[in-house]
Amino acid sequence: MKKIGIMTTGGDCSGLNTVIQRLYRGASLRGWKTFGILDGTDGLCETPPRVIEFNDSTLPIEAARLAGSFLHSGRAGALNFETAAKSGLLERFNKKIRKSLLELKLDAIILIGGNGSISLAWCNREIYNGLQLICIPKTIDMDIPLTDKTIGFNTAVQQLTSFCDQLMLTARSHHRWFVVQTMGRDCGQLALNAGIAIGATAILIPEIKFDVNSLITCIKNAPSDYGIILVSEGVSLRGHSGKPAEIISRKLTSAGIVNRTAYPEHTQRVGDTTAADRILAARMADCALHAIENNETYVMTAINDCKCETVSLKAFFESGSITEDPNIPDIKTSDAYVSPDDPLLGIATDMGIYIGETK
């Protein structure tokens, strides 16, 4: 009988509970035992490790649609790679994680994480020697290389779209523009997708340079005197510091354009998991379990050309844009961004949405 560990790491998002529940269900049908590791690596650093064994009533199927992680994804002051590095405990931290995994006598561990967590898993792969390591990509940022979809992204787009839909009504009532700052870190996928969905007047993302004067001209020439301007949090303006939405708002005000800023913040990371994300969670859970059956290790589930398959963590890491992790010495992260040939950029332009200087 196989013993499978499940761990969620990094920022949470909708869909985590769905994939956890589907993993347990599929594992139990195979006669495997499933253990949940609480609070990610922080739970592994405790003695004994903080784990729970799943049964049919642990995570009821009706609760699997809820946001957040049933297993938790860390807390303030939690011991993880970043905090261990800052406190000079990284070597001791790695040894403790390795020791805990050996004590649990797991056959495989399924890590559900973002690009940072998956990059760390690959860079510290010796920790998982003797185990099958299967990663499942989840993030609202959609910044993970080698997969067309990540768990949580679709729900985040829906949450942001719903937020902006409501703002559009009051924008119309007051003949006013709203500058909405989205999450997404250095990747503009969330802003781009939601912006197309709501019919934004402008979408500003980190990957595309833009000119403030061109933006102002676009707004002044718009067919209406209200609307939404989406600004991804990773956008930077030369010579300015602070929240990009506030900087853009001040520029518009100086140009005589009445506007307000709005910050959906963590509402983008919550909300009942959409059907699309639930289906994706089920597909990736099934793919991960088949990978364990096939004795695969150091792999990540991925959607490519509508197929759910595994890709090696080595290929994942080397195919992205590799940058130094600012918080962990000698560790690098692999990132994906909006591609210049992303079809949504052309659609935005064709719909008259200002997205920057793309030509």
Q: Is 272 a catalytic residue?
A: no
Residues 4 and 27 sit within 8 Å (Cβ to Cβ): yes
Is residue 10 located within the same domain as residue 117?
yes
- Is 359 a residue whose pLDDT tops 70? no
* Residue 326 within any structural domain of the chain: no
Q: What percent of the chain has pLDDT over 70?
A: 99
CB 287 within 8 A of CB 22: no
Top mean pLDDT of 78-92, 234-248, 274-288 is at 274-288
**291-322 pLDDT per residue, tens:** 999 999 999 999 999 999 999 999 999 999 99
The string of DSSP letters for 42-60 reads: HHHTSSS--EEE--TTTS-
Burial 257-293 (b: 16+ CB within 10 A, else e): bebbbbbbeeebbbbebbeebbebbbbbbbbbbbbbe
Q: In this structure, is residue 324 part of a structural domain?
A: no
b/e burial code for range 136-168 (CB count within 10 A of at least 16 → b): bbbbbbbbbbbbebbbbbbbbbbbbebbbeebb
* The predicted structure's pLDDT at residue 74: 75
Is residue 329 reached through a cis peptide bond, with omega within 30 degrees of 0 on the bond before it?
Answer: no
Per-residue pLDDT band at 238 (split at 50, 70, 90): confident
Taking the C-alpha atoms of residue 18 and residue 14, their distance in angstroms, rounded to an integer, is: 8
Give yes or no: residues 60 and 30 share one domain.
Answer: yes
Whether 145 and 281 map to the same domain: the answer is: yes
Which residues have CB under 8 Å from 211's CB, separation 6+? 356, 357
Task: Provide the b/e sequence for 46-78 (b: ≥16 CB within 10 Å).
Answer: eeebbbbebeeeebeeeebbbbebbbbbbeeeb
Q: Is the pLDDT of residue 5 over 60?
A: yes
In this predicted model, what pLDDT tens digit does every residue of 25-54 receive, in sequence order?
Answer: 999 999 999 999 999 999 999 899 999 999
Q: Is 190 left (phi over 0), alpha (psi -120 to 50) or beta?
A: alpha
**pLDDT the model gives residue 199:** 97
* Same-domain pairing of 21 and 119: yes
For residues 208 and 285, state if they share a domain: no
pLDDT digits (tens, 9 = 90+) for 65-75: 999 999 998 77
The reply to whether 62 falls in a domain is yes
Q: Which of 106, 115, 121 is nearest to 6 (CA)?
A: 106
Residue 118 lies in a domain: yes
- The CATH number linked to 146 is 3.40.50.450
Range of the domain at 234: 156-269+340-350
Q: What percent helix, strand, coil does the chain show, rounded to 5?
A: 40, 20, 40
328 found inside a domain:
no
Do 60 and 101 belong together in one domain?
A: yes
- What is the distance between the alpha carbons of residues 128 and 109, in angstroms, rounded to a whole number? 9
Condensed to tens digits (0 to 9), the pLDDT of residues 250-273 reads 999 999 999 999 999 999 999 999
For residues 279 and 292, membership in a common domain is answered with: yes
Of 12, 39, 141, 143, the active-site residue reads 141
In a domain, 355, yes or no: no
If asked whether residues 314 and 254 sit together in one domain, one would say no
Q: Is 166 part of a structural domain of the chain?
A: yes
Are 79 and 222 found together in one domain?
Answer: no
Our measurement of the distance from residue 326's CA atom to the centroid of its chain's CA atoms, rounded to an integer in Å, reads: 18
Q: Are residues 22 and 100 in the same domain?
A: yes
Residue 195 Cα to chain centre, angstroms? 18
CATH code for the domain of 202: 3.40.50.460
Q: Is the dihedral of CA 84, 153, 150, 43 positive or negative?
A: positive
| Helices and strands, number each (H, E), in the chain | 12, 13
The predicted pLDDT at position 80 comes to 82
* Cα torsion angle, 299, 303, 305, 306, sign: positive
Are 277 and 142 in a shared domain? Answer: yes
Residues 180-214: pLDDT tens digits?
999 999 999 999 999 999 999 999 999 999 999 99
Residues 164, 18 within the same domain: no
In a domain, 332, yes or no: no
Q: What is the mean pLDDT of residues 154-163?
A: 98
Q: How many domains does the chain have?
A: 2
